[in-house]
Amino acid sequence: MNKTELIEYMAKDADLSKAAAARALDAMIDGVRKTLKKGGTVSLVGFGTFAVGKRAARTGRNPQTGATIKIKAAKVPKFRAGKGLKDALNGGK
């Protein structure tokens, strides 16, 4: 499912216009993005938790030249599925 299909699903399921569903989805994504940028977490009970992880600096290899390169440390978004989502994927509600 892509973003357009998700908006269509939200509009139909919540009895909203597509424009209102698009604004709601964009607001949700923006809220998660801003919270993670500040270093916070977003917990949606029964669905999962969005958080920020840290990846340490490391050395890598350029596949074209074989030269060793330094890869900087980085913050990475993480998602941990909640019990409700896991149960739904494994035959639950």
Helix and strand totals (H; E) in the chain:
3, 5
Q: Tokens in use for 89?
A: 């994927």
pLDDT of residue 92: 66
Q: Quote the CA–CA distance of 54 and 37 in Å, as a whole number.
A: 13
* Predicted confidence (pLDDT) per residue in 35-81, tens digit: 999 999 999 999 999 999 999 999 999 999 999 999 999 999 999 99
* Predicted confidence (pLDDT) per residue in 15-39, tens digit: 999 999 999 999 999 999 999 999 9
**11 confidence band (pLDDT: 50, 70, 90):** very high
Could you tell me the strand order of the sheet in which 48-55 lies? 42-44, 48-55, 74-81
pLDDT of residue 91: 82
Q: In the CATH hierarchy, which fold is given to the domain comprising 39-93?
A: HU Protein; Chain A (4.10.520)
pLDDT of residue 93: 62
Quick one: CA dihedral 64, 65, 68, 70, positive or negative? negative
Report the candidate in 54, 13, 69, 43 with the shortest Cα–Cα distance to residue 5: 13
pLDDT of residue 40: 96
Model pTM? 0.79
